[in-house]
Amino acid sequence: MNQHVTIIGAGIVGISAAMFAQSRGFSVRVIDKVPPGEGASFGNAGGIVVSSVMPTVHPGILMKIPGWLLDPKGPITVRWSYLPKALPWLLALGRNAMPDRVRKISKARAALGLRALDDHRTLLKHAGAQDLLAMDDGLMIYGTKAQYDGGATWRRVHAEYGYKGAELNADEAREVEPDLTPDIYRAVFWDGWHRIRDPHMMVVRLAEQVVRDGSEIVQDEVTRIEVDGNRATKLHLKQAGEEKVENLCVCAGAWSHELARMLGSKVLLEAERGYHLIMQNTGIKLGRAVTHAAQPGAVTPHHDGIKIAGSDEIAGNDAPPDWRRAEQMHVYGKRLFPGLRDLDGSESKWMGRRPGTPDSLPVISASPKLANVWYGFGHGHMGLSWGPTTGRLLADMLGGTTPNMDLSPFRIDRPM
């Protein structure tokens, strides 16, 4: 008889785990309160950015944060009413920006990126969805010499891991992307930065394949998990009541810490809320993802328009979206593409919760407390990039195979 696994969460991580577990002979049931891909995986910027080895917060960015926090329109904000709750996570974020931690974190992030593109290809091929992968390297724009000089460490660390950017001057950059601003000191073409044309569609198409291969995906919410001795035994579902579990994977994005707590593991996780703005009839042409070194974010092609994504708002899972932050994405887009048309209300806006750990590393881990529980969450800004690899590593652990890399930096009980 096949072994069975229940996976909580049908985002890129949960669906990738489902597909890899199936390929190892498991029968799979995925449970999500919303349809596949409608969490954070819905509207991200679509970057498979395996060259992003530095943690989200590092010494180069640490100095900019106070200024950003004081600017209500800045790229990072903390809702003041939420500050007391977020404080332990924020303090841990600061600890992890120290140089020795940054070195260790970068090494672990680089290791995770090594097979990310192959794992994407494996899943996309199995689902017949290779058309969603675009191999057009992303372009980073430095507006001034100061910005360029400020990015020296970042570029050096990338180069140490083999990601060498080709440098372009303003004219060369505008040859590649003619509608770019002329205010360019230098541009860098990054290898190791590819693109999924529609990240929501990727999860939907993988999920459809998972169902064709015999798995179940059910829409329900897990409200409680029962434990008996060293095993998780039962889920309590909002609609369907109780059901037994044989093996359990928690891939529940920004809600995973709540479920982990029910299973005896405490972990620091915050929703790093990001926004996007999708515009049609933009007045500009765009062939690849473009980002500005002055602040985090990206402008990417999206169907017959563009998507501008970014922002990091710490306000908890439940606070209502602040749609001014999505509109602020337009300012970011305009800085890169001055010909971008004005907002006219036809744009679509979205807010998603990045599941962020304070050390910018995901949790990919067997439970230290329970013999039949595994975790895959906390991918922060990199969940699309690393989701398929996490799914493969979880399937390895479930099947009793020793994964082919050191997973100790990703343990759920690591000090953060």
In the complex, the residues that contact ligand FAD under the rule CB under 6 A are 8-14, 31-34, 38-41, 44-47, 49, 221-222, 251-253, 255, 274-276, 309, 352, 354-355, 377, 379-385, 387
**Minimum distance from residue 182 beta carbon to ligand FAD (Å):** 26
C-beta of 170 vs 227, nearer to ligand FAD: 227
Q: Which is nearer to ligand FAD, 151 or 296 (CB)?
A: 296
Measure the CA–CA gap between 193 and 137, rounded to whole angstroms. 5
Q: Is 2 helix (H, G, I), strand (E, B) or coil?
A: coil
Of 167 and 221, CB closest to ligand FAD: 221
Q: 168 and 186 in contact (C-beta within 8 Å)?
A: yes
Between 44 and 215, whose beta carbon lies closer to ligand FAD?
A: 44
Question: Which one, 180 or 308, has the nearer CB to ligand FAD?
Answer: 308
Is the CB of residue 25 less than 8 Å from the CB of residue 3?
A: yes
Rounded CA separation 245/365 (Å): 18
Name the residue nearer to ligand FAD (CB basis): 5 or 222: 222
Minimum gap (Å) between residue 388 Cβ and ligand FAD: 10
Backbone angles phi, psi at 314, to 5 degrees: -100, 105
Cα–Cα dist 96/58, whole Å: 8
Q: Where are the beta strands (DSSP E) in 143-253?
A: 166-168, 186-190, 194-196, 216-219, 222-228, 231-237, 241-244, 248-250
Contact between residue 351 and residue 225 where contact means Cβ atoms under 8 Å apart: no
Q: What is the smallest separation between the CB atom of 100 and ligand FAD, expressed in angstroms?
A: 26
Structure-derived torsion over alpha carbons of residues 393, 398, 399, 404, reported in degrees to the nearest 10:
30
Spatial separation of the C-alpha atoms in residues 353 and 288, rounded to whole Å: 24
Q: How far apart are CA 394 and CA 376, in angstroms?
A: 7
Looking at the Cβ atoms of 174 and 411, the one nearer to ligand FAD is: 411
Q: What is the closest distance, in whole angstroms, from the C-beta atom of residue 332 to ligand FAD in the complex?
A: 12
> Which residue's CB is nearer to ligand FAD, number 177 or number 312?
312
Instruction: Give the nearest distance from C-beta 405 to ligand FAD in angstroms.
Output: 18
Cβ-based neighbours of 191, under 8 Å, separated by 6 or more = 51, 137, 163, 164, 165
Q: How far apart are CA 35 and CA 350, in angstroms?
A: 16
Find the residue with minimal CB distance to ligand FAD: 383
Please give the Cα distance from 389 to 118 (Å, whole number).
9
Q: Smallest gap, in angstroms, from Cβ of residue 157 to ligand FAD?
A: 18
Residue 378: strand, helix, or coil: coil
Tokens describing residue 368: 């230290």
Q: Residue 227 Cβ, how far from ligand FAD at the closest point, in Å? A: 16
How near is the Cβ of 37 to ligand FAD at its closest, in Å?
Answer: 7
Three-class SS state of 108: helix
Least distance from C-beta 149 to ligand FAD, angstroms? 26
Closest to 220 (Cα-Cα) out of 29, 370, 410, 1: 29
Best CA proximity match to 262, nearest among 231, 220, 221, 227: 227
* Cβ 406 to ligand FAD shortest distance, Å: 21
Nearer to ligand FAD, 134 or 170 (CB): 134
Q: Using CA atoms, how far apart are residues 231 and 373, in angstroms rounded to an integer?
A: 8
Cβ proximity to ligand FAD: between 170 and 263 the closer is: 263
